[in-house]
């Protein structure tokens, strides 16, 4: 099976590029091929990814925040519009973004939930609800990436305040598939979630959007004040 490259807008106004397929490649070879395919699909020229000392990725010679996620069978990059006024090596609400993804059937997450959810979150999220627990895990991971602060405690410093509903990957969607009235064009507010980061004396509020893409749950975590390509929030 060949690799599949898909570039799409999302309801929060964040661009996502997903690469799947290539089942005849395994492990690190698969990831290297996905990175190569991503680089070849730049608008003007080949794109090359670098990493800051913190491990955060960036595009060489470009000023757009990116965030990367990969799991078996998926490699994805989320991108904000160019923000040349921002130092991308530091946290800024103008360029605050994280993405994470996980297979929708990864049941191991249920056994690990007490390691990443605090007591309030454990009561908030049903222990037998696989989808919600995977969404919660990807929310924590995406928020960690957005924070640009190594060493954060997932249970105490990344806090889920409100779970989102699982939504569509693009602003154009079949409303009935997501339990919305016929003709609905914008994603309602309850499809978005909220998290808070506790970093030293600061409390940073972030928004969350999760969607289903084939066999994967993908979550975007971002500042309400970040640069966006447009928004489909009602």
- pLDDT tens-digit map of 126-180: 999 999 999 999 999 999 999 999 999 999 999 999 999 999 999 999 999 998 9
pLDDT in tens, 93-127: 999 999 999 999 999 999 999 999 999 999 999 99
Mean confidence (pLDDT) of the chain: 94
pLDDT of residue 231: 55
Split at pLDDT 50, 70, 90, the class of 1 is: low
Distance between CA atoms of residues 220 and 97, nearest Å? 7
Q: What is the mean pLDDT of the segment spanning 55-70? A: 95
Domains and CATH numbers, the chain: 3-222 (3.90.470.20)
pLDDT of residue 54: 83
Split at pLDDT 50, 70, 90, the class of 185 is: confident
pLDDT of residue 21: 94
Torsion-angle region of 28 (φ positive above 0: left; ψ -120 to 50: alpha; else: beta): alpha
Q: What is the mean pLDDT of the segment spanning 184-209? A: 95
Q: What is the mean pLDDT of the segment spanning 18-47? A: 92
Split at pLDDT 50, 70, 90, the class of 233 is: very low
pLDDT of residue 118: 97
CB contact set of 229 (below 8 Å; sequence gap of 6+): 9, 13, 14, 15, 80, 81
Tell me phi and psi for residue 190, to 5 degrees: -75, 0
pLDDT at residue 29 tops 90: yes
What percentage of the chain exceeds 70 in pLDDT? 98
């Amino acid at each position: 099976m060949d690799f599949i490259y898909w570039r799409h807008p999302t309801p929060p106004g964040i661009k996502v590029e997903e690469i799947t397929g290539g089942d005849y490649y395994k492990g690190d070879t698969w990831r290297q091929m996905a990175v190569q395919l991503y680089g070849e699909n730049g608008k003007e020229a080949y794109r090359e990814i670098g990493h800051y000392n913190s491990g955060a990725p960036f595009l060489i010679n470009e000023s757009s925040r990116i965030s990367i996620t990969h799991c078996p069978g998926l490699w994805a990059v989320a991108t904000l519009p160019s923000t040349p006024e921002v130092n991308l090596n530091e946290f800024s609400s103008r360029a605050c973004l994280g993405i994470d993804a996980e297979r929708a059937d990864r049941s191991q997450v249920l056994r690990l939930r007490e390691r990443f959810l605090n007591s309030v979150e454990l009561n908030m999220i049903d222990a037998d609800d696989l989808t919600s627990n995977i969404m919660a895990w990807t929310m924590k991971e995406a928020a960690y990436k957005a924070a640009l602060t190594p060493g954060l405690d997932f249970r105490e410093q990344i806090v889920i305040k409100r779970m989102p509903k699982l939504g569509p990957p693009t602003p154009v969607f079949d409303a009935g598939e997501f339990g919305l009235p016929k003709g609905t064009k914008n994603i309602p507010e309850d499809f978005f979630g909220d998290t808070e980061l506790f970093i030293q004396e600061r409390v940073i509020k972030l928004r969350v959007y999760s969607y289903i893409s084939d066999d994967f749950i993908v979550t975007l975590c971002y500042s309400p004040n970040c640069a966006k390509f447009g928004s489909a929030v009602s």
